[in-house]
Chain A
Amino acid sequence: MIETIIALATPAGESALAVIRISGPLSHIIAKEACDCTNPTPRKTYLVDYQSSDGETLDQVVITLFNKGKSYTGEDSLEISCHGNPLIIELISKDLMNRGCRIAQPGEFTKQAFLNGKIDLPQAESVAQIIAAKNEQSLALAQRNLKGKLSNKLLSIQKDILGLQASIEAHIDFPEDDLIKEDHNKYQQNVKTIIKELETLLLQANRTKLLAKNIRVVLAGLPNVGKSSLFNALAGKNRALIHSDAGTTRDYLEFDIKIGKYWITLVDTAGVHNASEEIELAGIEMSLEQAEEADLFLWVIDNSVPHPSELPKDFTKLIQSKPTLLIRNKSDLGENDWIPNYKKTPKAINISSTEKSGLKQFERLLLELIQEITGVDAENEYLVSVRHELLIKNCLDELNHFLQKSKEKVGEEITSLHLSEAREKLDMMIGRKTNEDMLDILFGEFCIGK
């Protein structure tokens, strides 16, 4: 029995259309039952209504069927192009899972293609490497998403679920031991808390677009060097206040721009120096916070002054630890071409924010740096994050089933099953936990043994 797997094949939300790719024996059945399209001619497109198993029309979609042996994976395949609306994608994916499909593992389509002889033997190595890379990327993305919050949160939720299971399993497997009485209300309470946390996570993710995380680029430097001017120049509009007085910017300011394929959140900060005024100090404190969360620094200096003084120590350290581009601004006034005396000299560029000179070259340098740090292209990353989102939603479904079944009082072996399934979804994002891990908690927490 081969399973039917699904994955999103396009970066949704970017364009008007999204493509969901299905591979496996259910392809024909889905064409027939969800799209009312019996025996479609392969490779021909059909405009149909997609109907969920509950009989609800989810979207008008275009489907294309590929027969076994003639598709990318070599299995029966179906491509569904739907509207790029995330909600529609989610509903269709969920329905596909109800119909027996499973979300693909990283690289699984390529693997199927290989196993079906669609990719030949000498390429095995590259296939394996793709899978390894995709897996790495998936883990790395979970780490980076929401500034690491996603993976931390998921890890802690995974632990919570294991703990819950440990308690339930202790009572199933050691019914005659003198255990703390089972508190079903507490189980439900705990699961409700987990559900809330996951929902908040999704909400945050959706609102800030951080699941497909923007790269945070922070402008830092001494006061009055022209950070805000550069910010405005890149944003293409006057968002930040600019003034010839030092210390103009007090609060930080964000603006999303796109450079190449990448979405970037540009952050303007207050100039840092050894300030005395309290409000200024608060601003500088905030700049430091921003600097800590930066993926990439734009260190702005004034190229027209003879000796740009160094930044406070905290910053110097951060700047040396993260990818940094040195921007020598105000090059229209003079070119001092200062270079910091660091172990690793950052790439530097001379520009003028007011004259808007050197900006094209600056963008090119920035793009290079971004590619260096992401190592993968943004499209893929977006797909991975959509997969994460779906998995989290799956996990939520199982947890809600847990609650429902607990109310029906069906027996712990059933409720525990839903917890296992919920955990499995997390495992797919952040690494697998086994029954042994559960037993470790169980024996650590419960005094077992007559």
Chain B
Amino acid sequence: MTLRVNTPSKPYDVIVCGAGHAGCEAAIAASKQGADVLLLTGNLDTIAQMSCNPAIGGQGKGQIVREIDALGGEMALNADFTAIQFKLLNTSKGKAVQAPRAQCDKKAYQLRMKHVLEQQPNLTLFQSMVDGLIVQKSSCKGVTSSMGLHFYGKTVIVTTGTFLQASTHIGQSKSEGGRLGDHSAKGLSAHFIKHGIELRRFKTGTPPRLLGNSINFDGLDEQSGDKNPSKFAFYDSRSDSEMFHVEQNRRWAIKNNQVLGSNLVKCFLTSTTETTHKHINENLHLSPLYKGDIVGTGPRYCPSIEDKVVRFSNKDSHRIHLEPEGVNTDEWYINGLSTCLPFEIQQKVLKSIPGLENAKIIRPAYAVEYDYAPPTQLNKCLESLLIKSLFFAGQINGTSGYEEAAAQGLIAGINASRSALGLDSLSIYRNEGYIGVLIDDLTTKGVTEPYRMFTSRAEHRLLFNHGSAEHRFLLKSQAYNLHSRSRRENIRNQLQTTDTWIKTLETTKAESGITYAHQIKSVSELEILFPESFHQLPRSVQDEVIYRITYDGYLKREIAAAKRIKNAENLEIPPSFSYNSLPGLRTECMEKLNQLKPSTLGQASRISGVNPADISIIHIYLERFTKLQKDEGD
């Protein structure tokens, strides 16, 4: 598709800036809603690039990917079809906290996603750097870009990731770019500031990449994938055309699919030594982190190796995972060795690690510092509170991680397109799933370090087991048209089957004389002789039935508690509501509320430092406020 005539009077419905994980989902979701979408990105060769580790999923994240799939996103399929090793995490723990993870072939992942974009109807992909916003009367009307082009859009989604005013650091050497060898986005930051959008700085880092044939794998612990892959996408509800929409196309070599999407590779494990730590300690002064050259806050859960050595000086060794970046390359990712020490020191450090004595670095480790826009400036549709029709998604919102980015992209894409098409907006609440928790945390609490999902962030995570994502979002997908009719029907049938079987197992007695449900709660699943017809159900349905029976009592409790959240969520706090001079409200609490401006009583109640009594007081005044307003209206 070539660029069509695009004028202020003939705008695109949605313009997406940046084809990272957020941008791709945003563009696809918007086009699926029927919007006319333009996706601008700095470089077509880096579409959906995994800037850091070659893996999708993991704790908290794996569940998000399944939710993305349940909401019609692409990430799950893309990961499944380009995966080279699958693993279900936490199999030794309960099912509520089990999560799928996959190593993916990085290049294949990008190419497949690129091809999805290419095929998507109403979606125009174009290589161009956005350098400014067109804003009229506090409403975004389009963007300006390199080559002096202007693009008009009813809505604009910014998904520029780590690229705003980005600089990369390796020791003393500093250069511009959102990734090593990539560009940096310059004009945009100034535009945001001009329009009153606040920006702050974060940093993150990535380890060196090594040439596989220079690594000595002998004696290193092997880590292979699970025999039975646990995939991200839900297949039981899909028709072929919803599964192989890329693979069917002749241009996407189907033979690729025969190789990818299964367990092809092994990872390896090694660890740092005392010598490693000595090198690091001796050279700390050369790290821009310790010299103070980097001011942005980094994530605590992804520390650089220098951080780990300094902060946990009592540990004499740290684990290092060696992960292949793909099947058509011998580039290896050295998980655990993120650093911004000078290149020579990186080499020294590697030499001190078993297996890496002679390893050749083909890309050095580096840190990147970038602007992000504190997400408390957004509503829960991810639209700016300051500029109408301007949406933000992904790392620009202060998050970190492909999955977190993709989830936001999906929500922003659906909302921007629905806003352009004059339809109502979609909000996902924190009682519905991890994506709800993510968006609620971002927009109400904001971030103090790059935000990543942890299952503990969800108050009611027992309800968010990865297998139930489709069921949980059935009503939403129906109301917002996120799936084909046939997939929706299939999900509904499955949900019904699940409910029926739960009742059956609760009432039917096994040979031993007690009900199946009772057995499920007391003995291991493998010891139970289920009726033959149960085994004929799809595995996913069996799993869900067993899950819901096992945790029956707890789930009921959690559902009740989650409802409480929802009730408080329904109590909206109008923007004109003032916390000042509410008698009885503590000053500390007043300041917090004024700063964060929660949009519902539920959000207010989750702000740290705001106690139940404060909420009661606000509730009372809220009631008074609305009553008085109504009286005035009458």
B531, chain A: closest CB distance, angstroms: 25
Tell whether B574 is near chain A: CB-to-CB under 8 Å: no
A104, chain B: closest CB distance, angstroms: 10
A112, chain B: closest CB distance, angstroms: 10
Tell whether A129 is near chain B: CB-to-CB under 8 Å: yes
7 cross-chain CB contacts under 8 A: A1-B564, A128-B582, A173-B60, A420-B459, A434-B608, A435-B456, A449-B301
B557-614 at interface with A (beta carbon < 8 Å) = 560, 563-564, 567, 582-585, 606, 608, 610-613
A169 touches B454 (CB 8 A): yes
Residues of A within 8 Å of B563, CB to CB, are 1
Tell whether A339 is near chain B: CB-to-CB under 8 Å: no
Residues of A within 8 Å of B606, CB to CB, are 434
Known: A100-B560, A447-B315. 13 other contacts (CB 8 A): A3-B564, A105-B616, A128-B620, A132-B583, A175-B89, A175-B93, A176-B58, A413-B93, A414-B462, A432-B608, A435-B457, A447-B312, A449-B300
- Among A175, A412, A420, the one with the most B-chain Cβ atoms within 10 Å of its Cβ is A175
B454 touches A131 (CB 8 A): no
Q: Mark A397-436, 1 if CB is under 8 A from B, else 0.
A: 0000000000000111110110010000000100110111
Distance of A177 Cα from B303 Cα, bound (Å): 12
Distance of A124 Cα from B627 Cα, bound (Å): 12
Residues of A within 8 Å of B564, CB to CB, are 1, 3
B94 touches A410 (CB 8 A): yes
Distance of A128 Cα from B311 Cα, bound (Å): 46
Contact of A114 among B608, B620, B628 (CB under 8 A): B620
A132 touches B585 (CB 8 A): yes
Tell whether B308 is near chain A: CB-to-CB under 8 Å: yes
B584 touches A111 (CB 8 A): no
Residues of B within 8 Å of A420, CB to CB, are 459
Distance of A391 Cα from B405 Cα, bound (Å): 41
B611 touches A443 (CB 8 A): no
Tell whether B426 is near chain A: CB-to-CB under 8 Å: no
Contact of A172 among B301, B321, B455, B583 (CB under 8 A): B455
- Among A128, A178, A448, the one with the most B-chain Cβ atoms within 10 Å of its Cβ is A128
B620 touches A413 (CB 8 A): no
Q: Taking A1-B564, A105-B613, A173-B59 as contacts, is the C-beta distance between A129 and B584 under 8 angstroms? A: yes
A102-134 at interface with B (beta carbon < 8 Å) = 105-108, 111, 114-115, 121, 124-125, 127-129, 131-134
Contact of A448 among B300, B616, B617, B627 (CB under 8 A): B300
Tell whether A174 is near chain B: CB-to-CB under 8 Å: yes
Residues of A within 8 Å of B628, CB to CB, are 121
B354-369 at interface with A (beta carbon < 8 Å) = none
Residues of A within 8 Å of B311, CB to CB, are 447
Q: Which 8 A-B pairs have the closest CB atoms?
A: A411-B94, A132-B584, A135-B613, A178-B319, A443-B300, A447-B312, A169-B456, A434-B608
Residues of A within 8 Å of B58, CB to CB, are 176
B170-188 at interface with A (beta carbon < 8 Å) = none
B271-313 at interface with A (beta carbon < 8 Å) = 271, 299-303, 308, 311-312
Tell whether B525 is near chain A: CB-to-CB under 8 Å: no
A121, chain B: closest CB distance, angstroms: 6
Q: Taking A172-B97, A413-B94, A434-B608 as contacts, is the C-beta distance between A111 and B59 under 8 angstroms? A: no
Number of chain A residues close to chain B: CB under 8 A: 52
Tell whether A438 is near chain B: CB-to-CB under 8 Å: yes
* Contacts across chains A and B counted by CB atoms under 8 Å: 147
Tell whether A210 is near chain B: CB-to-CB under 8 Å: no
Question: Residues on A close to B: CB < 8 A?
Answer: 1, 3, 100, 105-108, 111, 114-115, 121, 124-125, 127-129, 131-135, 165, 169, 172-178, 410-414, 416-417, 420, 428, 431-432, 434-439, 443, 447-450
Residues of B within 8 Å of A133, CB to CB, are 584
B603, chain A: closest CB distance, angstroms: 13
B560, chain A: closest CB distance, angstroms: 8
B587, chain A: closest CB distance, angstroms: 12
Tell whether B318 is near chain A: CB-to-CB under 8 Å: yes
B318 touches A115 (CB 8 A): no
Contact of B89 among A131, A176, A431, A450 (CB under 8 A): A176
Contact residue range for chain B? 35 or more
A108 touches B93 (CB 8 A): no
Nearest to A440 among chain B residues (CB) is: B300
B444-470 at interface with A (beta carbon < 8 Å) = 454-457, 459, 461-462
Tell whether B142 is near chain A: CB-to-CB under 8 Å: no
B455 touches A173 (CB 8 A): yes
Residues of B within 8 Å of A436, CB to CB, are 608
Nearest to A448 among chain B residues (CB) is: B301
Distance of A412 Cα from B338 Cα, bound (Å): 30
Distance of A38 Cα from B621 Cα, bound (Å): 38
Distance of A111 Cα from B299 Cα, bound (Å): 42
A450 touches B319 (CB 8 A): yes
Q: Mark B331-360, 1 if CB is under 8 A from A, else 0.
A: 000011010000000000000000000000
B345, chain A: closest CB distance, angstroms: 20
Residues of B within 8 Å of A3, CB to CB, are 564
Residues of B within 8 Å of A108, CB to CB, are 616
A188, chain B: closest CB distance, angstroms: 17
Residues of A within 8 Å of B60, CB to CB, are 173
A124 touches B620 (CB 8 A): yes
Residues of B within 8 Å of A410, CB to CB, are 94
Residues of A within 8 Å of B534, CB to CB, are none
A271, chain B: closest CB distance, angstroms: 45
Distance of A3 Cα from B564 Cα, bound (Å): 8
Residues of B within 8 Å of A450, CB to CB, are 53, 319, 321, 335-336
B611 touches A135 (CB 8 A): yes
Tell whether B146 is near chain A: CB-to-CB under 8 Å: no
A432 touches B611 (CB 8 A): yes
Contact of A449 among B89, B303, B610 (CB under 8 A): B303
Q: Taking A447-B311, A450-B336 as contacts, is the C-beta distance between A412 and B97 under 8 angstroms? A: yes
Distance of A436 Cα from B308 Cα, bound (Å): 21
Distance of A129 Cα from B616 Cα, bound (Å): 11
B461 touches A439 (CB 8 A): no
Distance of A127 Cα from B613 Cα, bound (Å): 12
Contact of B308 among A131, A169, A447 (CB under 8 A): A447
B208, chain A: closest CB distance, angstroms: 14
Contact of A107 among B303, B308, B616 (CB under 8 A): B616
Distance of A54 Cα from B568 Cα, bound (Å): 33
Residues of B within 8 Å of A115, CB to CB, are 619-620, 623
Q: Taking A169-B456, A175-B90 as contacts, is the C-beta distance between A128 and B617 under 8 angstroms? A: yes
Tell whether B211 is near chain A: CB-to-CB under 8 Å: no
Tell whether B245 is near chain A: CB-to-CB under 8 Å: no
B62, chain A: closest CB distance, angstroms: 11
A67, chain B: closest CB distance, angstroms: 22
Nearest to B303 among chain A residues (CB) is: A449
Tell whether B554 is near chain A: CB-to-CB under 8 Å: yes
Tell whether B535 is near chain A: CB-to-CB under 8 Å: no
